[in-house]
Amino acid sequence: MTLALGLAALPAAGQSPFPVEIGGPYTLVDQHGQTRTEADPDGRAQLLFFGYANCLNICSAALPLMAQVVDELAAEGIEVTPVMITVAPDQDRVETMGAPLADIHPDFVGLTGDAAALQTAYDGFNVEITKLFEDPEYGWIYAHGSFVHLLDASGETLTLLPPVLDVAQVAGIARSYLEPKS
């Protein structure tokens, strides 16, 4: 955790790309059936999380945190898109993930795909997924990566953000990478 906090707090000046090999190209499908890649089509930075829409554990903290950070930065004129890549494609399908994500934030983008396409994203971001047990009401419960990735508009990783930080801390770190430098 100390290493993660240290990595998240690295200064942005002269630092590009992220000093650890994390990220890479992927092609997935969003909740509207549209193809998306790691690059944001609107030229916005992105907060990316690997999780699932009906997760009752870390996702239920990380996804709302991302939404609040997006709103805080938007109030300052910094546009960021919240993105979740599913770790549960059996549960998060094009037709099922949009509504729960929209309940968290109207701009949330949910991404899914076939096993090979998702594995490309998992491998690029070093995300490991383990099925833990099947809940009779919610389906499979997974162990998966918990970092929020801050990406630039082209999909390059800028830093990692642990979801144990509060909104002000995450927004402050993101702001240091995204606001124009004088």
pTM of the shown model: 0.85
Stretches in the chain below the pLDDT threshold 70: 1-19, 55-59, 180-182
Residue 98: phi, psi to the nearest 5? -65, -50
Q: What is the pLDDT of residue 180?
A: 61
Q: What is the pLDDT of residue 55?
A: 66
Q: What is the pLDDT of residue 12?
A: 43
Residues 6+ apart with CB under 8 A from 97: 31, 52, 53, 84, 86, 110, 112
Place of tokens 């690997």: 50
Task: Count Cα atoms within 13 angstroms, Cβ side, for 177.
Answer: 29
Q: What is the pLDDT of residue 5?
A: 43
Spatial distance between the Cα atoms of 39 and 93, rounded to a whole number of angstroms: 21
Residue 157: phi, psi to the nearest 5? -70, 130
Chain CA centroid to CA 63, Å:
8
Angle (CA) 70-75-80 rounded to 5° is 30
Other C-beta atoms closer than 10 Å to the C-beta of 15 total: 12
44, 160 Cβ separation under 8 angstroms: no
Q: What is the pLDDT of residue 163?
A: 85
Q: What is the pLDDT of residue 182?
A: 45
Q: What is the pLDDT of residue 36?
A: 97
* Residue type, position 155, single letter: G
